[in-house]
Amino acid sequence: MSSITYNGHDFSPYTTCEVIEGPHAVVPTSQVIPGRAGALLLGGRIAPRIVRVRLFLDAHAALDAAGLSELRHRLYSWLYADGGSVLVLPGDPGLEWHDALVTSVGAWLSATEDASCEVAFTCYDPIAYGLEHEETGTTFEVGGTWGTWPVVTLMASAGSSVRVTDALSGDYVLLNHTFAGGEVVVLDFENETANVDDGDMSDKIDLGSDFFKLEPGSCTLSFSDCSAHTVTFRERWL
């Protein structure tokens, strides 16, 4: 891949791309303390990621003015996604940036020769998505450099509950429900929901439950009152 993919369109047949990016910026949270110089740093959050790319038209030499104009306007339409879309960069073909929106576009440096322009994407979800994994064991590796929310699918045994526990932190998710056995339970950790045989049972989630992320590295989970389980997640990368 020699160029970006955005909004479902591969720009490679028409452009090559130079990526201009840097590390993530952190937005600080602080509080002014009377009598103290400066402020008290309380923490920070990662700001939306700004990714700048320079697009070079590869086909300009073979096109007349009308063809070049048509191509430019086609690319303009591909870059338009007012609700944001998925961006893939040529240097990171296995990663996707979600909620990416074109927020700045420079002028074409030339209309006929070595035509190029700079495009800035703001990725409002600044942590990239990598490979998706499905794990059926209790201990497995979590790739990436950032915590990820799993979706856990269980085959319930006969009983009054099912439970998933993080062996390292002790955090758990407990669903209280009378099971006959064989029901399919889906726990969505990001949205904090529970479904049993496609029916919403989120109101049966125990109040002590703490939906947790899977952190990069070795992960061990324990599963109670179920006969089978699958843990699905995507790697997240800074």
Is the model's pLDDT at 174 over the cut of 70? yes
CATH number of the domain at 13, please.
2.40.30.200
What is the domain count for the chain? 2
Rounded average pLDDT over 205-223 = 97
CATH number at residue 211: 2.60.120.860
Give pLDDT, residue 111. 56
pTM of the model: 0.86
Residue range(s) defining the domain that contains residue 116: 5-126
Same domain assignment for residues 43 and 94: yes
Q: 77: which 2 tokens?
A: 């339409």
Give me 33's structure tokens. 């303390």
Q: Are residues 77 and 189 in the same domain?
A: no
Co-location of 148 and 213 in the same domain: yes
The distance from CA 10 to its chain's CA centroid, rounded to whole angstroms, is 20
Q: Where does the pLDDT of residue 69 fall: very low under 50, low under 70, confident under 90, or very high at 90 and above?
A: confident
- Please provide the DSSP assignment of 116-183 as one string: EEEEEEEESS-SEEEEEEEE-SSEEEE-BSB-B--EEEEEEPSEEEEEEEETTT--EEEEEEEE-S--
CA proximity to 75, closest of 4, 146, 123 = 4
Residue 62 has pLDDT above 70, yes or no: no
Last residue of a domain, one of 77, 96, 126: 126
Which tens digit of pLDDT belongs to each residue from 14-57?
899 999 877 888 899 999 999 989 999 999 999 999 999 999 98
Same domain, 112 and 134: no
pLDDT tens, residue by residue, 86-126: 999 998 889 999 999 999 998 877 655 568 889 999 999 99
Phi/psi at 201 (5° precision): -125, 30
Q: Are residues 81 and 143 in the same domain?
A: no
Give the pair of three-digit tokens for residue 99.
């909620």
